[in-house]
Structures are given as C-alpha cells and as structure tokens.
Amino acid sequence: MPTARLVSTDGPYLEAFIELDGQILCVMDEFTWNGAQAISSGDPVSIRLDVMSNEDEPWDSMFRGNPEHRIGIERMTGWAYRAFGRVVSVNPVKVDIGVLVTSSPISTRDERVVGEFVAFTIDRLTAMSEG
C-alpha cells in the first residue's frame, strides 16, 4: 500500500489532493471518513488507489489513443484523468498506468494485447484507506 502525503481535503467522499511519488493528484477522499485518527495537511497517509472508468469507451479509441507509448495519468477536470499505459497481463487484464496497475476498463482473454499501449478515461480516481 503506497504512502501519500495529504495536501488538502474537502472531507469524506469529496475532493482531496494528495502527493504521491512527487505528483499531486486530485482524488475522491475515502480515507478520512472513519474519524479514528485525525489527518491533517502534510500528514503521511497509507492509501490504495482505485479507478472508475467509462466502460463504454470504444476499443479502437483505447488501442489507438497512446501512439507515444506513454505511461501515466493527466488530470482533465476534478478527479477525472486521461490514463496512458501498457497492458501487462490478461485473465484478468491488467494495465500499468504508472500510479497503479488497474483492470479497468479493458476486458479480453486475447493474449495478443499483452504489451500493447492504451489510453482511456478515468471518470473518478479514488484514494481509500486500508485501515
């Protein structure tokens, strides 16, 4: 579980900014909800990132959307991002997008996609506490 630094939060289930590996990310806050431990700006936070993606994004768009073979995410607005990554496995499909390896939104059993570079939209990047 990666450790991030809390920059700011509007509260549980609202917008928060965290710093992870030198990158500031806007996320949905699912790590300050339990109130068991007060978290302040600058505090380290053990989090797990998760994505909610548009499952209706066209296959062609995903597989043609990363001709530069990039790995990473770019903020679009709020907690929405454009993700660029590489397919690392199938059954289930896993895509390395830098800040995490995700199975969203691609679904296939065709091993020929392993190693392919893709791009897709993350509708919501969520940071959750494991504790």
Q: What is the pLDDT of residues 69-105, one digit of tens each?
A: 999 999 999 999 999 999 999 988 999 999 999 987 8
From the list 30, 66, 71, 23, the residue with the least C-alpha distance to 48 is: 30
**Mean pLDDT calculated for residue range 19-34:** 90
Look at residue 39 and tell me if it is in a domain: yes
Helix (H) or strand (E) holding 64: helix 59-64
> DSSP string covering 55-82, please?
TTS-HHHHHHS-TT---EEEEEETTEEE
Helix (H) or strand (E) holding 8: strand 3-9
Host domain of residue 25:
3-50
Domain boundary among 16, 34, 50: 50
**Mean pLDDT calculated for residue range 20-40:** 83
Question: Helix, strand, or coil here: 83?
Answer: strand
Residue partners of 45: CB distance under 8 A and separation at least 6: 3, 4, 5, 6, 18, 31, 39, 127, 129
Domains contained in the chain, number: 2
Q: pLDDT grade, residue 108 (50/70/90)? A: confident
> DSSP string covering 110-125, please?
-GGGTT-EEEEEEEEE
Look at residue 130 and tell me if it is in a domain: no
The residue type of 103 is S
Look at residue 113 and tell me if it is in a domain: yes
pTM over 0.75: yes
